[in-house]
Amino acid sequence: MSAFSAARAVLLREFLRLGRKRGQLVQPLLFFLLVAVLFPFAVGTDATLINRLGPAVVWVAVLLATTLSLDEIFRSDFDDGSLEQLVLSVYPLPLLVAMKSLAHWLTSIAPLILLALATTWLFDIDQTQRENLAASLLLGTPVFSLVGAVGSALTVGLRGSAMLLALIMLPLYIPVLIFGAAAVANAGLGLPTNAEHYFLAGLALMSLTLAPFATAAALRARLG
């Protein structure tokens, strides 16, 4: 089996595993939906205020909902013993863990993005802001999965790892949050958003380049 076939097999296994645990997929979506629905009630009927704060609320809700699923990236593999086989495999470990990050993004974050775009009417977000929200989420959220995999590898098997993982990851996600929300806010003011999008793309590219190797090293150190 080639390295490409092994990576495809890991990706397919993740889809099958998560398909059997639909509760893990639904929980972040419900969390986001609750935040999106409750926010207008807390702010009141000021449409201008809701529109101004809406993009930041969407980004914060997506970020927090994502942290709910980070602990599961390697948890099941650790529990059934397959994580050791993954680390000892003859295939490049950074490639295999990159596939697990991709599976996490496709199954946990991509649905959040679709739900976020579907609920923009709650925040009175116009078409230009909606397009920039979609672009910023597509550019920024891969960082959540790639960097989150590093933290998940470091904390897998620890008691209370979910809370510890959230505490570790949230400060690292702040740059993505700042520039993602700023891109949508600037679009609403008619300002250019290229700088924010370029910054998010640069963070995503840097994460794609470095995070799989850091995740592989963290797994080897954790299981060594």
Please tell me the predicted confidence (pLDDT) of residue 137.
95
| Alpha carbons 173 and 159: distance in angstroms, whole number | 23
pLDDT tens track for 92-148: 999 999 999 999 999 889 999 999 999 888 888 888 889 999 999 999 999 999 999
Residue 214, both tokens: 């850091």
Say what the pLDDT of residue 102 is.
Answer: 93
- DSSP for 32-92 reads HHHHHHHHHHHH-S-HHHHHHHHHHHHHHHHHHHHHHHHTHHHHHHHHHTHHHHHHH-SS-
pLDDT 10s digits, 19-39: 677 667 788 899 999 988 888
Total domains present in the chain: 1
Residues 180, 136 contacting (CB under 8 angstroms): yes
Mean pLDDT of 137-162: 90
Could you tell me which residues come within 8 angstroms of residue 166 by beta carbon, excluding any fewer than 6 positions away? Answer: 67, 70
The residues, ordered by sequence, that sit 6+ positions from 48 with a Cβ below 8 Å of its Cβ are: none
Q: How far is residue 114's CA from residue 134's CA, in Å, rounded to a whole number? A: 9
pTM of the shown model: 0.91
CA distances from 78 to 148, 156, 171 (A): 16, 7, 26
- Exposure b/e, 78-90, CB count within 10 A at least 16 = b: beeeebeebbeee
What confidence score (pLDDT) does residue 150 get?
Answer: 94
Residue 23, burial from CB neighbour count under 10 angstroms (0-12, 13-18, 19+):
exposed
Q: What is the arithmetic mean of pLDDT over 185-203?
A: 92
Give residue-wise pLDDT tens across range 60-73: 999 999 998 888 88
Domain housing 27: 3-223
Residue 1 pLDDT greater than 70, yes or no: no
